[in-house]
Each structure stands twice: as C-alpha cells, then as structure tokens.
Structure 1
C-alpha cells in the first residue's frame, strides 16, 4: 500500500509577507487607514470642543433685528490693546446709499458703511466675537432676492454678551429714528421704508375743524392704554377708523401727525393700486411692523372690484370687497393694531364695512370751514398780525365770496379746501394784503363757471 503525498498549504503567509510589493502596499494602506481614522477623530474632537467652548447666534435677513445688528457692527470702537487693534480690523465693507431732496432743491446723499460678506472679528466689552456675513445660494421665490445671514460666534463662557449686543443694537436703531416717523410702502411682498424717516409732524400743523382732531387723538390714546381691558373681555385688540371727505382736506396729513404724536410708524397701502390683491394684502398684514399705523387709502376702490374668485384663483387686479373685510377682522387682521381707511366717496361704501369691529369711528374731514381758515391764518401770519386786524379782513373777504354755506345734515358746506388756503398763504408768505386780494382764487374753476 503506497503512502499518500503530503498536503500543501493553500497560502504561504510567510512568503506573502516577505514579498516586498505586498508588504509595501499593505503598509501604505494601513498607514492611510490610521491617518484617516486620526483625521476623523481630530475633526470630531475639534467639533466637540467647538460645541463645548463656542456658541453661535444666526440672524436671518428676514428677522427685524438684521438691520439693527449691521448698524451696530458699523459703529466705531476704540481698542486699547495692540492685539485687539490687529484682530478687530475690518477691511471689507459694503455700502448702502440713500438720497433725499433738501429744502433748497439739491439732492443729499447719505452713505452707510457696514461689514461686507465674509468673516470679521470684533471686540465688545471683554469678549471677542467672530462675525460671519454670508449670502445664501437660495433666494426669495417672489422677488429673487438672495437670502442673507449674519452669524455671531463667541466663547460659551461669554454667551450672555449677546443679550447686551441685541439690547444696544435696538437702542441704537431707536436713537436713529428719534424725532422721526418711518413711512413704509409695499414692494412686492415686503414692507420697505419710503425714503428716509421723516421729521415728526406736529399735531398743531394740521388744522381740522373744531374738536375733530382732539376727538380722534383722545380715542387712539385711550385705546393704547386699555390693552388689558380688551384681553380680559376677549375682544380683539384693534381699532379701526374711517376718514372720509374731499381731496385736500388733510386726511393723510393728520394720520402722519397722529403717528408722530403716538411715536408710531405708518404703513401705507393704496387699495386701488394694480397688483395689491387679496392674498398679498393678507400676507402683508401678517408682517406689519410693530407700533405701526396701517393706512388703507382709497377704500371705495374695493367695492368696485366685487368679482368673486374664479377656479384658477384669479380675483381681479386689485383688492376685492371680501378681501378688505378679511383684512380688517379676519384671521390675517392681527392684534394690537390701529388701522385707518380713507375715502373720497363714502357713498360707495357698503354698510358691512363700517360696522363696529371693522370701523369703530367714522369721522368726516370736509372742506375748509371758517374756523379752519382763521386758525391757518394765525399759524402763518400770527407773529406779524398781532392784533388780528388782517385776519378779520381776510375772513370778511371769504364771507363776501360765500365760501362757507349753511350746514346740511350736520356737515358744513364749503367751496374750498385747506390745501387751497395753504397754497394761497405759501404764495404770499410775507404779504398779507396779497393773500387777501387773491382770496378769490380759492374758488375752484368749476364753481366759478357755474356762477
């Protein structure tokens, strides 16, 4: 019987590792794996340390505090230490330019420098803050404007410094608007300031008929003082006013003066403007800036467009009647809001609009009365017409022209406007005799033709 042949191993490991090609490749692969593992571990360790030691605050451009922070970052800061002066030097800036027309005519430009896109370091009090301003790849679908963010990073131990940052930025924004009224208008689906903030208009500069101005001001102040009263009774905390009367009677001027008196802003929407639809108005009301009077002009235009929404969602080029009602007391109406509606044609308004809860106070602001003419004369010429002799001559001339008729249905009848009287006085700034002699020009041409 023959002996069986010895079995041969399938793989000679010693020979394999003795092979220089294999050994070198295995060594490199092992080294690469170790380095990759070490890199991953280092990244994880750094990330853990970062999460433990640093804190971030991200501010989106859609947040109201975004412009406050940019303005705060633009403030000069005196650094005493050598390290602080070198680390906190901002070399990349962006500029925002605003223009306005001065009283003498030429255009005045204001340049606002702020940190540009990228990373910056600032020192605030005892903390260093890394500022990262970035423009995102995404954009608003309705405007195409890219999203932006500002991220503030500091040590976790200094995290409480952010409260001071936002408080100081807010105070800086209020200081910049102190003594001024911000007027917002609609741009696409956003509220944007209409030029630079305007100097607050004194209530005394708006001359309404006797008692009218005081009635509205007292009512608005009473409303603002009774917030808890509304809450306790489950009543929506909002107030609606309707000012109606002919053009040039001072409706819009009074609202601007009231905003200054209450320290509010004004957000204007012209309801007759093409493109201001129901959905757009409802969306804008959800984003109404705080402490802002909502001004809806030309309310009667909504009654012209009573067209119902069609299957494709189209409801006309302007706000509809139902859209206006929803804006006043629907889900989008919001709370803590003062709204003013103005119209030149109250006869076109529907009773459903002017019921309490939508319009709480209706006030007629009509043409100029004898009382208003006298008050306006004193405002323009009171410093030179001390004894009022010229004022009496002026009022007598207006009586001769029969500009003021007998009251009908509780409303005085007039043939001129306060805007026309103001125009007369502006043309004769230093000439009282000229204002009296030109008083006949206060009669509108149409009425002159009818005489």
Structure 2
C-alpha cells in the first residue's frame, strides 16, 4: 500500500477523524485560554492602576474609614466597637463600620474603584492578622490615589483636630487606644505659681531649636521628670501639654511583664511623629541602688534591666526630636545615673496644694462665691496634714453648686 493510499484510508477512518478533531479542539481551546490570560494580564498591566496598603502602614485605618464613607450602601461590613469615657468618667459605647474582608465597589470622582480587603497570615508579634487593602481603577493616572489618601488624611486629622490621641504598646508597635479625647486646656490644671510657664517655655524652646541642636552635634531629644506626691496633677499636666503642642501621647508601662530591653528600645524609637512618650511610675523599673530595703517591693515586676532602661533613654540608637516625660511618686528611689542631664533634662516638682492653688481652684469651681475663698482656705488648713489637688477637686465634686457646704465638711 502506497503513501497516498494510506492517507486516503486514514481520512475515511471514523476513529482517526474523531481523535484528530478532539485533539484539534483541545489545542484550540488551550490556545484560546492562553490568549485570554495574556490579554487579561496585558489589560490589567497597561489599562488598570492598582494600589496596595498593608495594615502596618499609618494610613491603613484612615483608608478604611474613608472607604466606609464612600460605600455607605455596602452590606458586607465589619464592626468596630469603641468605649468612650467622658470628662466625669461615664463610659459609653459607639459602633463604627468598615469594609469587611472581601471585594467592594465604590465611585469616586466619576470613576469606579474595586476595593479588595484580604487577611493573610497572623502577625505573631502583634497577635492580629496581617491585612492588605487593594484599590483598582481603570486608567494609568496615579494622581487619583494622592487625592484619595490626602482626603482620607484630612478627614482623620479634622476629626481629631481638637483632640489628643493616645497610643499604647501592642507587641512591637504602637496602636491607638480608644478614641481621641478632647484637649485639656493648660489652665485647667491648677499648679503652683510658675510651674506651667517653666515647662511650656522649655518645650517651645526645644521644638523650635532642631537646627541649633544639629549644628552643635547635640542629640535632638528632651527628657522631663515630674515628681511629687500622688494626686498632685502630674499625669493631667502632661495630657494638657500634649494638647497645647498638638501632640499625641504614647503611654509605655515599664512594669509590663512582656517588656524587654530590645522591645523598649524599639518602641521608644518607633513612636509616632509629634508624640510625647510617657513613662509613668518610672521608679518601678529604675530602683535606687542605694536603698535595698525600699527597692525590694519592686523586684520581679519587670523584665527591663536597669542598664537597658538607661541605654534606651540615652543610647546611641535614639530617634530625632523625641520627647520623653516620666513621672514618679518616689524620686528618692532614682539614682544620679537615671536623673543626669541627657536622660532627664528638666526635673519638675509638682507638690501638694499651696494656698494660692486652693484659692484658684475654689474660684474656678465657684465663681459666684469668691467671697468664701479665704474661709475655705482656713477650713482646709485647719487640718495640719498636707492636701493634694485631687482631694480638693473630689471635695468640690461632692458639693457642686453648693459652695457653703464645702465649709461644713472635712476634705477627705
């Protein structure tokens, strides 16, 4: 049988024809699928613009809040519950909604955006899932993302323009704690004469002198130590200073069992920009080496070593422009190495109430009964024990709008 006859027989063979056709169809579909994939990748590469934001970025929460405003009709949302404490201590809950993990669509400036929020592996250090939000839109103009992030930032800053944000250490990073609180006026904290002026003048001189520090090779950071008896207004004064400077507050608990030397250094050097790092009750970690009896009550409260704390406050690894404020009720437990200049540049005593503080506090609470000021002062001083401003304020809260009754009851 010749070659011509063999080909003719194969063409008339139904099994060979069906198999060749099946192979041809399969190959054609594979080529078509590959073509669609290449065209899809090409379209996505050259016709779409994509922007990714991960949960580590500072703008992540801003973007989620902004997207929730744009897609108000979204039905797949996640709830954020915040507990808000007002000035008198009442706590209420407030619910907010942000896009849940998944795909969402919204319109902005006559353009359609696809928003995909996905959760990936757990962040072992932070204890929460690592998340990514991806925004996709038609076109190659990336300027629209500048508009989106700028608007999200402006809205977030506007919401906290007259408020002070508080951050706490969570793992190896700082996270907002609750909602921002209204700024506290500096004059609402009644201190001894001249104390507020000394501190505010020093702060303003520092934040406006970065060039002066750098030209002289001096580390551009400042440390403050507020010491005095409990209830004298140390923490309240720091909160009001943050509001005066338009700064946030990063609260670091040096007695935290999970806090180590390395983590302390990292947290101090990764604090948000324009923030005051607050170390309360610093004597819990930096005990006096000259008083073994007094130091025993703090043994085992923290894993931070004394040398680690000193290096964190004044080591070669230090962030520029850092302001650290520390408080203590027992300054005698701190030795000279802890309080030397460079670690503590300004020590401020905030003591029990002076006569003038008591007069100013009474006139502030009872402006229509100023004629009773001296009588109240004599009533307070009838007890020879010193009195803190916290006790004075608590006494006034017991007899709101009843100035006469403040004279009839002892200050507890």
Q: TM-score, normalising length from structure 1?
A: 0.81
Which of 46, 50, 57 lines up with 1:56 in the alignment? 50
Which residue of structure 1 lines up, in the alignment, with residue 295 of structure 2?
none
Point out where structure 2 has 5 or more consecutive residues left out of the alignment: 290-299
Counterpart position of 2:128: 145
1:191-206 matches, within 5 Å, as 191-206=174-189
Pairing 1:25-40 to 2, within 5 Å after superposition: 25-40=19-34
Is the CA contact (8 Å cut-off) linking 1:305 and 1:321 kept in structure 2?
no
CA contact (8 A) 1:61 1:148 kept: yes
Counterpart residue number, 2:275: 292
Equivalent in the alignment of 1:428: 399
Structure scoring higher RCO (CA < 8 A, sep ≥ 6) equals 2
- Structure-2 residue corresponding to 1:336: 321
- Of 262-271 and 116-125, more deviation after overlay is shown by 116-125
- 2:69 maps to 1:98: no
- Report the RMSD for the aligned CA atoms in angstroms: 2.7
**1:220 counterpart residue number:** 203
1:72 maps to 66
Query: Which residue matches 1:114?
Result: 98
Q: Measure how far apart 1:332 and its partner are.
A: 4.9
CA distance in 1, matches of 2:88, 2:245: 30
Q: 2:351 matched to which residue of 1? A: 366
Question: Are residue 390 (structure 1) and residue 375 (structure 2) matched?
Answer: no
Structure 2 CA distance for partners of 1:24 and 1:177, relative to 1, 3 Å: same
Aligned-partner Cα distance in 1 for 2:301–2:368: 54
Q: Do residues 271 (structure 1) and 220 (structure 2) align?
A: no
Q: CA deviation at 1:93?
A: 1.8
Cα offsets for 1:359-399 (capped at 9, x unmatched): 111111111112211221221123332xxx32122233444
1:410 maps to: none
Per-residue CA distance 1:157-195 (angstroms, 9 max, x = gap): 432111110110001001111211112223333433332
Which residue is equivalent to 2:303?
318
If you compute each CA radius of gyration, which structure gives the higher value, 1 or 2? 1
- Whole-angstrom CA distance in 2 between matches of 1:393 and 1:362: 34
Task: Note if contact 1:305-1:320 (Cα within 8 Å) is conserved in structure 2.
Answer: no
Aligned counterparts of 1:437 and 1:32: Cα–Cα separation in 2: 99
Partner in structure 1 of residue 231 of structure 2: 248
Output the CA distance in 2 between the equivalents of 1:189 and 1:305: 28
Distance (whole Å) between structure 1 residues aligned to residue 31 and residue 262 of structure 2: 55
Query: Do the aligned residues in 2 keep the contact of 1:133 with 1:149 (CA within 8 Å)?
Result: yes
**1:417 counterpart = 2:402:** no
3-state DSSP of counterpart to 2:337: coil
Return the alpha-carbon distance in structure 2 between the equivalents of residues 303 and 265 of structure 1. 25
Maintained 8 Å contact 1:285/1:332: no
1:339-358 to structure 2, matched below 5 A, reads 339-358=324-343
CA positional deviation for 1:151: 0.6
Q: State which of 372, 376, 387 in structure 1 corresponds to 2:361.
A: 376
SS of the residue 2:167 aligns to: strand
Separation in 2, partners of 1:164, 1:251: 42
Unaligned runs of 5+ in 1: 1-6, 78-87, 307-314, 404-414, 443-451
Deviations 1:248-306 (A, max 9, x none): 11110100011111111111112123322223322323431222110001111223499
